[in-house]
C-alpha cells in the first residue's frame, strides 16, 4: 500500500505493481493518482543554469550564489512537498530574512480553525457520523475524485449503516451545475447561487427560525435531524465570501467545517507556519510582518524567488508571472513546468510519495506518512538543506 | 463561402474557472504535450448560451481579456454556468486573468503554451 499525493485526500490504500523501475498497474487510485504513479518518469526536469543544461551540483551551487547576492528573497510554493521540506524552507527564510508564502487560498479560514474559532473535524468522523454534507464552491468530483466515495457521502460508517440513499443528505452549492452537483439527486439539494454571502445569511436566518427560501428551509429541517453535519468549502466559497464573520457564525450553528483544499500538503505549511510565527502564510521574516508573494513581486520588493514544488504560471495572474520573469528565479521541481521555462536555475527533485518519503497533513489535520516506491538521490529536503548550509 | 458565424459579434461573458480532473491528470504528466493543450485550451459554454449566440460545439474561438487573447476550443456543456463561460484553471486562464471575457469565432489555430510564456528577457 502506498500513499497518493494527488490531492489532500492523501489516500493510503493505493496499490502499485512494478516491473523493475516501471509502474505497470495502479489499483484503487483515482484518475489523477494513477497518472502520477504511471507517468512518474515522463517529462522530468533537467538541471539548468540560464537555459543551459548542467549537473545538479552546479545548479545548486549557482542557486546558493544567487541567494547570497540577493537584496530580498521570496520563497514560494511548498504545498506539494513534505512537511520536512516545508520546515527547512521556513528555517531558510528565517535565516536570510526572506518572505515566504504558499499557493493555497485557504489561509484565512485555516487560521480560524487553528485558533479554534471555527469548529472542525476529521474525515473519518465524517464517514462515521455525518448526516448533512455540504459541498460549497467546490467540485470535488473533479478536484478530489475519491473524497465522496472514500470519506463522505457514499461510504457506510459506524452510525451511518444504511448508506447514502437513507443515511446521508447531500447539499451542493455552486455558481454552476458541476459534476458534483449532478450527483445531488435523491436526499439531496443543489443550490445555484452567485451570492454566497447572501446565502450564508439566509442559512443563519433559517437556523434561527426565520424566513428563507424553500430549499434552505428544507436543508435546515434535515440539519435538525442530526448532531453531526459538515460543510466542505472550496475556492469558490473563499472567493464568494466578503467577510468571514457570518460564515463562522453559520458553521457554529450548522456543525463542522473542513476545507476542500486540493493541495496535498497546504495544511502542513499552514500548521508549521502558525506554530512558528502565529500566522499561516504571507510572512516576511525580514520585518516580522505580513507580506504576500503576489504584492511583493508586483511592487518590486523582491529580486530573487525560490519556488519549491509549484508552478505559478499555471495559477497566478499574468502580471505576476511577467514579473517572475524579471527577477532571479530558482525552481525545485521533479517535472518540467512553465516556471522551469522562465527560471534562471532549474533543480530537479523527487516526486513526494513516489520517489521520497516524509509526512503530509490532510486538509482535516490528520498526519499521513508517505511510503515511496523508489528512492531518489535528490529530493526537496536534501536540496533545501544543502542550500541552507551553503548560506 | 458565406458563413453566418462571420457575422457574430464579440460576446462578453462572466468567466468561471474550475479544476478539471482530466486536465489535472495531463498537467501532472506533461505540460508540454498535445493532451495538455486539448484539455486546457478549452472553454465550456452552456447549451442555452450557445443557442442564444450561435456558438457551435468544437468551434475554435478567440477569447480576450486585459488586452490579451488566446484561441481555444469551444465545448457546449451543461457544466458551464448559464450566464457565463467555464475554463479549466491553467496557464490559459492565468494569461487572461479576468472574471469577464470576450468570445468571438476565430479562424486560427489553438494557442500553444509556448506562445504565452515567451518573454523578451529570456
- Stated as kind and residue range, the H or E segment containing A290 is strand A289-290
Residue A117 has pLDDT above 90, yes or no: yes
Q: What is the mean pLDDT of residues A93-112?
A: 97
Residues 6 or more apart in contact with residue A212 via CB below 8 angstroms: A202, A203, A205, A206, A220
The answer to whether residues A221 and A127 belong to one domain is yes
Residues making up chain B, counted from first to last: 122
Residues 6 or more apart in contact with residue A53 via CB below 8 angstroms: A46, A47
Question: What's B23's domain CATH number?
Answer: 2.40.40.20
Residue B9 has pLDDT above 80, yes or no: no
B30, B82, B117: residue with CB nearest A341: B117
Q: DSSP readout, A209-228? A: T----HHHHHHHHHHTT-S-
C-alpha cell at A374: 523508489
ipTM over 0.90: yes
A301, A62 contact by CB (below 8 A): no
Query: pLDDT grade, residue B8 (50/70/90)?
Result: low
B79, B94, B122: residue with CB nearest A325: B122
Phi-psi region of A64 (alpha: psi -120 to 50; beta: other; left: phi over 0): alpha
The answer as to whether B105 is a domain residue is yes
Gyration radius from chain B CA atoms: 14
**A227, A259, A291 — which closes off a domain?**
A259
pLDDT at B3: 53
3-state secondary structure (DSSP) of residue A205:
helix
pLDDT at B4: 55
Q: DSSP readout, A115-162? A: TTSS----HHHHHHH--EEEEES--HHHHSTTIIIIISSSS-BTTBTT
pLDDT at A186: 87
The answer as to whether A29 is a domain residue is no
Q: What are phi and psi of A171, to 5 degrees?
A: -125, 130
Task: Determine whether the interchain pair A43/B32 forms a contact, defined as Cβ–Cβ distance below 8 Å.
Answer: yes
The answer as to whether B49 is a domain residue is yes
Name beta bridge partners: A22.
A19
B9 in contact with A, Cβ within 8 Å? no
Residue B122 has pLDDT above 60, yes or no: no
Look-up: residue for cell 512518474? Answer: A40
Q: Give dist(CA A54, CA A225) in Å, integer.
A: 64
A262 in contact with B, Cβ within 8 Å? yes
pLDDT at B5: 52
Number of folded domains that form chain A: 2
Q: Give dist(CA A213, CA A112) in Å, integer.
A: 29
Domain that includes residue A119, residue range: 107-259
pLDDT at A137: 97
Q: Pseudo-torsion of CA A336, A341, A342, A345, nearest 10°? A: 60
B6 in contact with A, Cβ within 8 Å? no
Task: Determine whether the interchain pair A145/B68 forms a contact, defined as Cβ–Cβ distance below 8 Å.
Answer: no
The answer to whether residues A271 and A245 belong to one domain is no
Q: Maximum Cα–Cα distance for chain A, whole Å?
A: 68
For residue A353, the chain B residues in CB contact (below 8 A) are none
pLDDT at A163: 86
Residue A367 has pLDDT above 90, yes or no: yes
A103, A315 contact by CB (below 8 A): yes
The answer as to whether A342 is a domain residue is yes
Name beta bridge partners: A188.
A170
**A230, A259, A288 — which closes off a domain?**
A259
The answer to whether residues A242 and A269 belong to one domain is no
pLDDT tens per residue, range A197-230? 999 999 999 999 999 999 999 999 999 999 999 9
Q: DSSP readout, A84-96? A: HHHHHHHHHHHHH
B28 in contact with A, Cβ within 8 Å? yes
The answer to whether residues A234 and A325 belong to one domain is no
- Return the number of other C-beta atoms located less than 10 Å from residue A369's C-beta: 12
Determine how β-strand A230-233 pairs with β-strand A188-192.
unpaired
C-alpha cell at B56: 457551435
Task: Determine whether the interchain pair A43/B122 forms a contact, defined as Cβ–Cβ distance below 8 Å.
Answer: no
Q: Pseudo-torsion of CA B56, B57, B61, B63, nearest 10°? A: 110
Residues 6 or more apart in contact with residue B18 via CB below 8 angstroms: A139, A142, A143, A178, B86, B87, B88, B89
The answer to whether residues A252 and A118 belong to one domain is yes
The answer as to whether B81 is a domain residue is yes
- Considering the entire predicted model, what is its pTM? 0.95
Question: What's A171's domain CATH number?
Answer: 3.40.228.10
Terminal CA-CA length for chain B: 43
Determine how β-strand B60-65 pairs with β-strand B100-105.
antiparallel
Look-up: residue for cell 493510503? Answer: A12
The answer as to whether A11 is a domain residue is no
Q: Give dist(CA A181, CA A190) in Å, integer.
A: 6
Residue B95 has pLDDT above 90, yes or no: yes
Number of folded domains that form chain B: 1
Q: Give dist(CA A379, CA A281) in Å, integer.
A: 23
Q: What is the mean pLDDT of residues A62-83?
A: 98
The answer as to whether A24 is a domain residue is no
For residue A325, the chain B residues in CB contact (below 8 A) are 119, 121-122
For residue A183, the chain B residues in CB contact (below 8 A) are none
The answer to whether residues A252 and A142 belong to one domain is yes
Query: pLDDT grade, residue B107 (50/70/90)?
Result: confident
Domain that includes residue B72, residue range: 9-116
Residue B1 has pLDDT above 90, yes or no: no
- Stated as kind and residue range, the H or E segment containing B11 is strand B11-18
A273, A90 contact by CB (below 8 A): yes
A residues 271..330 contacting B (CB < 8 A):
311, 313-319, 321-322, 325-326
Q: What is the mean pLDDT of residues A82-102?
A: 98
pLDDT tens per residue, range A240-297? 998 899 999 999 999 999 999 999 999 999 999 999 999 999 999 999 999 999 999 9
**A237, A259, A281 — which closes off a domain?**
A259
Q: Give dist(CA B25, CA A254) in Å, integer.
A: 35
Q: Give dist(CA A202, CA A156) in Å, integer.
A: 31
Task: Determine whether the interchain pair B86/A315 forms a contact, defined as Cβ–Cβ distance below 8 Å.
Answer: no
Average pLDDT over chain B, rounded to whole? 92
The answer to whether residues A160 and A198 belong to one domain is yes
Q: Pseudo-torsion of CA B63, B18, A197, A132, nearest 10°? A: 150
The answer to whether residues A202 and A136 belong to one domain is yes
Terminal CA-CA length for chain A: 39
Question: What's A326's domain CATH number?
Answer: 3.40.50.740
The answer to whether residues A190 and A294 belong to one domain is no
The answer to whether residues A244 and A295 belong to one domain is no
The answer as to whether B121 is a domain residue is no
Amino acid at each position: 500500500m502506498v500513499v497518493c499525493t494527488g490531492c489532500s485526500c492523501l489516500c493510503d490504500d493505493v496499490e502499485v505493481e512494478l516491473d523493475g523501475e516501471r509502474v505497470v498497474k495502479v489499483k484503487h487510485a483515482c484518475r489523477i493518482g494513477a497518472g502520477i504513479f504511471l507517468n512518474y518518469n515522463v517529462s522530468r526536469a533537467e538541471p539548468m543554469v540560464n537555459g543551459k543544461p548542467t549537473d545538479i551540483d552546479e545548479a545548486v551551487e549557482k542557486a546558493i550564489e544567487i541567494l547570497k547576492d540577493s537584496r530580498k528573497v521570496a520563497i514560494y510554493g511548498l504545498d506539494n512537498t513534505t512537511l520536512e521540506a516545508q520546515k527547512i524552507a521556513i528555517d531558510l527564510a528565517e535565516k536570510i530574512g526572506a518572505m515566504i508564502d504558499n499557493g493555497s487560498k485557504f489561509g484565512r479560514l485555516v487560521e480560524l480553525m487553528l485558533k479554534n474559532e471555527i469548529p472542525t473535524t476529521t474525515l473519518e468522523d465524517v464517514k462515521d457520523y455525518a448526516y448533512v454534507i455540504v459541498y460549497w464552491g467546490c467540485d470535488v468530483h473533479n478536484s478530489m475524485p475519491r473524497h465522496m466515495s472514500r470519506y463522505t457521502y457514499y461510504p457506510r460508517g459506524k452510525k451511518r449503516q444504511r448508506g447514502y440513499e437513507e443515511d446521508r443528505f447531500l447539499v451542493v452549492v455552486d455558481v454552476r451545475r458541476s459534476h458534483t452537483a449532478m450527483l445531488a439527486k435523491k436526499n439531496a439539494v443543489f443550490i445555484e447561487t452567485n451570492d454566497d454571502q447572501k446565502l450564508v445569511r439566509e442559512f443563519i436566518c433559517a437556523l434561527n427560525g426565520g424566513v428563507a427560501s424553500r430549499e434552505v428551509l428544507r436543508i435546515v429541517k434535515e440539519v435538525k435531524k442530526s448532531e453531526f453535519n459538515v460543510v466542505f468549502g472550496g475556492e469558490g466559497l473563499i472567493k464568494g465570501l466578503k467577510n468571514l464573520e457570518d460564515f463562522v457564525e453559520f458553521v457554529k450553528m450548522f456543525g463542522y467545517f473542513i476545507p476542500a483544499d486540493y493541495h496535498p500538503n497546504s495544511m502542513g505549511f499552514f500548521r508549521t507556519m502558525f506554530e512558528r510565527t502565529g500566522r499561516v502564510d504571507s510572512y516576511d521574516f525580514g520585518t516580522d510582518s505580513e507580506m504576500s508573494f503576489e504584492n511583493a513581486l508586483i511592487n518590486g520588493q523582491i529580486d530573487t524567488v525560490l519556488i519549491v514544488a509549484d508552478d505559478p504560471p499555471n495559477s497566478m495572474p499574468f502580471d505576476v508571472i511577467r514579473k517572475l520573469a524579471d527577477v532571479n528565479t530558482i525552481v525545485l521541481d521533479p517535472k518540467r513546468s512553465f516556471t522551469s521555462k522562465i527560471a534562471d536555475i532549474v533543480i530537479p527533485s523527487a516526486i513526494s510519495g513516489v520517489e521520497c518519503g516524509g509526512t503530509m497533513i490532510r486538509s482535516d489535520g490528520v498526519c499521513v506518512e508517505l511510503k515511496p516506491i523508489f528512492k531518489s538521490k535528490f529530493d526537496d529536503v536534501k536540496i533545501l538543506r544543502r542550500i541552507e548550509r551553503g548560506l | 463561402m458565406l458563413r453566418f458565424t462571420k457575422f457574430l459579434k464579440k460576446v462578453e461573458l462572466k468567466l468561471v474557472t474550475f479544476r478539471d480532473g482530466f486536465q489535472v491528470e495531463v498537467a501532472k504528466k506533461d505540460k508540454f504535450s498535445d493532451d495538455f493543450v486539448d484539455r486546457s485550451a478549452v472553454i465550456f459554454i452552456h447549451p442555452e448560451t450557445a443557442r442564444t449566440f450561435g456558438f457551435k460545439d468544437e468551434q475554435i474561438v478567440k477569447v480576450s481579456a486585459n488586452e490579451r487573447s488566446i484561441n481555444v476550443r469551444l465545448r457546449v456543456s451543461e457544466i458551464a454556468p448559464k450566464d457565463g463561460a467555464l475554463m479549466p484553471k491553467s496557464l490559459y486562464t492565468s494569461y487572461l486573468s479576468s472574471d469577464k471575457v470576450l468570445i468571438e469565432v476565430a479562424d486560427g489555430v489553438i494557442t500553444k503554451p509556448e506562445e504565452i510564456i515567451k518573454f523578451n528577457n529570456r
